[in-house]
Amino acid sequence: MSAPVEVRVPDIGDFKDVAVIEVLVQPGDTVAVEQSLITIESDKASMEIPSSKAGVVQALKIQVGDTVNEGSVILLLEAAAVTATADASPPAGDSRNAPAPAGETRDAPAPAPAPAPDPAPASRAPASPTASSAAPSAAPARGTSAGAIGGDLTCDLLVLGAGPGGYSAAFRAADLGLEVVLVERYASLGGVCLNVGCIPSKALLHVAAVMDEVAHFGDLGVAFGAPSVDTAKLVAHKNKVVGRLTGGLAQMAKMRKVTIVTGQGRFADDHHVEVDLASGGTTRIGFARAVIAAGSEAVKLPFMPKDDPRVVTSTGALELPQVPERMLVVGGGIIGLEMATVYSTLGARLDVVEMLDGLMAGADRDLVKVWQKLNAPRFDHILLKTKTVSAEARDDGILVRFEGEGALKEQVYDFVLQAVGRVPNGRNIGAEAAGVAVGERGFVAVDIQMRTNVPHIFAVGDIVGQPMLAHKAVHEAHVAAEVAAGEQLGDAKLAKAAFNARVIPSVAYTDPEIAWVGVTEDDAKARGVKVKKGLFPWTASGRAIANGRDEGFTKLLFDEASHAIVGGGIVGTHAGDMIGEIALAIEMGADAVDIGKTIHPHPTLGESIGMAAEAFEGVCTDLPPVKKR
């Protein structure tokens, strides 16, 4: 008899002293490699711990109620004569790598549900075939084994890009039983959003909001000294926030047995991706189906100085390389104004230049007006209908010239942020080799099932069109994964999944926040859509007044005839946390009575949504009486 082998808890990330809530084996049981042994649970998640060896359990070293860490001994095992390995043949009954049964090729999407208002019609148009020397093959037959396709590594589903769309597609497909490979060019998962976008910017914006809030507390009888800012510690805090989330993704990928390949991927043909590995060399991955989630990158103006640390995109701005005295923000959209908020709070004086006639395009002007009034002290100049035409690096700063209605004479700035939009990565992934059609601007056209013109290749996220938002990408990713899994596994219900969201909310995480969803008032006027408005000013909100932040308001837009809600907007603190209720109301087809009769807790900012609906109906008792006509 061979000596017993200790089976230990593997790397479980940041989890420490995690409780054992279930023991899944007993002495005498025969276990296989990757068979679950115990279930552990922390305040964040529960997970099953698999066996790293095959054999017979001799003795358990833990019991329910114990706490474990990485390296804790779970049990003693008499190892099998031939140790199973991670790449062993699948057990009986696992058909993922088995030859495919005969079946019809699924080369057309399921019937689409009834169409709903689409916020990005251009990205939903059926894709037209691209000119290609090799015509793309039809979608693989149900259950087709990727192993038959060949490659250094094979999988049921390959996902190119690990941002919110990419990892969501990978994880959902793995949960549904597919073997998944996730290709990501950067060392950590999460894409732009988690690493250099949504999450790190919110970490800095939170600090800025607290600093701004505290500055006014002297008027309330609570005085603090002037803040002392250690930018190195602030960046370390931001990086810790990012690391916690990206590390969690890596752990969840491991739990789901998603294979991560780090490197720059590009299509070699319609069933293979070549990856230039970050560790050196290349590898070729064969796939039955694929999801393109390659995202976008910040636009860099061609006339801006290259490789000058004083000229950055949002990625560079998040590193807080300096706190400038004078800062220029090129572009008056959400990204630019969020970063402007951070730098202003830290001490910078701001100029912003925008080609359009207003800031935050897309939001109603009455919402933006409230933000602009409160934030006017941050800015020396807001240059509208103006463009930046040249920039020159000098010893004393970046010399910038402008043209347009609001143009200043040439100005010198210590720091320049380029925030003029993002461009999709559709032309950087070798899509033509797979026969995937890519438009002139780099977008990949998809249908309602997120399918490209190549039937077994899907695309999600920024690369399929506006709006470029992480929360849109996640929902698109779930659809793509479900359709791919449904076709691969022969599940007709999954194969009919479709992206048919009525609305997609937008949020500017400035101070105050601005959030909107569905039809906007400005858009309705421009298109002649007949809507009526219910508005609740926060000057009548007990919670807003108690918070000392009553500058905002909540408005709802209703169809003039049916009174069904079609849109809404909020300006004020925590607007982004509340806009989801309005989105849900639109999705559910609620009318003003439904919303107004829903009991909201008091005193909250959220009750302003119910009161705006009551205001529309003329029954709000928290506002002056409606004048009778």
Take residue 396 and report the two structure tokens written for it: 């004393």
Residue 440 CB-density burial (10 A; 0-12 exposed, 13-18 middle, 19+ buried): exposed
The mean predicted confidence, pLDDT, of the chain is 89
Residues in the chain: 629
Digit-coded pLDDT (tens) for 82-102:
433 333 333 333 433 333 333
pLDDT, one tens digit per residue, over 407-456 is 999 999 999 999 999 999 999 999 999 999 999 999 999 999 999 999 99
Q: Is the pLDDT of residue 538 over 50?
A: yes
- At residue 149 the predicted structure's pLDDT band, cuts being 50, 70 and 90, is confident
pLDDT attached to residue 48: 83
Q: Which of 194, 206, 182 is nearest to 245 (CA)?
A: 194
* Residues 77/83/87/88 CA torsion (nearest 10 deg): -110
Q: What is the pLDDT of residue 3?
A: 83
Mean pLDDT, residues 522-544 taken together: 96
Is the per-residue pLDDT at 11 higher than 90? Answer: no
Parse the chain into domains and list their residue ranges: 5-79, 122-134+144-190+239-297+424-495, 193-233, 311-420, 506-617
pLDDT grade for 131, boundaries at 50, 70 and 90: very low
pLDDT for position 121: 34
Q: Which of 70-84, 253-267, 361-375 has the lowest mean pLDDT?
A: 70-84
Angle at 600 between CA 595 and CA 605, to 5 degrees: 105
Q: Residue range 265-291: average pLDDT?
A: 97
Range 221-248 average pLDDT: 94
CB atoms within 10 A of CB 595: 25
CA atoms of 210 and 386, how far apart (whole Å): 33
User: In the sheet that 379-384 helps form, which strands lie side by side, from edge to edge?
Assistant: 311-312, 415-418, 326-330, 349-354, 379-384
Each residue of 455-475: pLDDT tens digit? 999 999 999 999 999 999 999
User: What is the spatial distance between Cα 350 and Cα 343, in angstroms, rounded to a whole number?
Assistant: 9
Tokens for 214, please give them. Answer: 């505290």
CATH entry, 122-134+144-190+239-297+424-495, from 3.30.70.1140, 2.60.40.1120, 3.30.9.10, 3.50.50.60: 3.50.50.60
Question: pLDDT at position 401, please?
Answer: 97
Question: Residues 188, 195: contact at Cβ < 8 Å?
Answer: yes
Q: What pLDDT score was predicted for residue 629? A: 55
The answer to whether residue 348 scores a pLDDT higher than 90 is yes
- Span of 136-140, 166-170, 357-361, 506-510 with lowest mean pLDDT: 136-140
**Maximum alpha-carbon separation in the chain:** 96
pLDDT value of position 429? 97
How many CA atoms are closer than 13 Å to the CA of 147, on its beta-carbon side? 12
d(CA 31, CA 23): 13
How far is residue 418 CA from its own chain's centroid? Answer: 22
Q: Which amino acid is at 96?
A: R
Query: In the structure, what pLDDT confidence band is assigned to residue 146 with cuts at 50, 70 and 90?
Result: low
Write out the two tokens for 212. 């701004």
Mean pLDDT along residues 495-523: 97
CATH number for domain 506-617, candidates 3.40.50.300, 3.20.20.140, 3.40.50.2300, 3.30.390.30: 3.30.390.30
Report the pLDDT averaged over residues 284-309: 96
Given this model, what pLDDT does residue 47 score? 78
Q: Which residues are catalytic?
A: 602
Per-residue model confidence (pLDDT) at position 93: 37
Q: How far apart are CA 346 and CA 325, in angstroms?
A: 10
**Phi, psi for 356 (deg, rounded to 5):** -80, 180
526: its two tokens: 């421009």
Taking each helix axis as running N to C, give the angle between helix 164-175 and helix 470-489, from 0 to 180 degrees, rounded to the nearest 10: 30
Percentage of the chain with pLDDT > 70? 88
Mean pLDDT of 240-252: 93
pLDDT grade for 402, boundaries at 50, 70 and 90:
very high
Amino acid at 378: R
User: Which residue intervals of 191-294 are DSSP H helices?
Assistant: 191-196, 198-215, 231-255
* pLDDT above 90 (res 339): yes
Domain spanning 311-420, CATH class: alpha beta
- What percent of the chain is predicted at pLDDT more than 90? 81
Is the confidence at residue 135, as pLDDT, over 70?
A: no
Confidence (pLDDT) at 144: 59
Q: Does domain 5-79 have CATH number 1.10.3720.10?
A: no
Q: What angle do CA 296, 278, 90 make, to 5 degrees?
A: 95
Q: Please, which pLDDT band fits residue 15 given cuts at 50, 70 and 90?
A: confident
- pLDDT band per the 50, 70, 90 thresholds, residue 110: very low
pLDDT computed for residue 42 by the predictor:
75
Measure the CA–CA gap between 131 and 495, rounded to whole angstroms: 28
Residue 403 has pLDDT above 70, yes or no: yes
Domain 122-134+144-190+239-297+424-495 and domain 311-420, same fold? Reply is: yes
- What's the N-to-C CA distance of the chain in angstroms? 96
Contacts of 160 (CB under 8 A, 6+ apart): 166, 183, 265, 273, 290, 291, 292, 293, 294, 429
Confidence class for position 118, pLDDT limits 50, 70, 90: very low
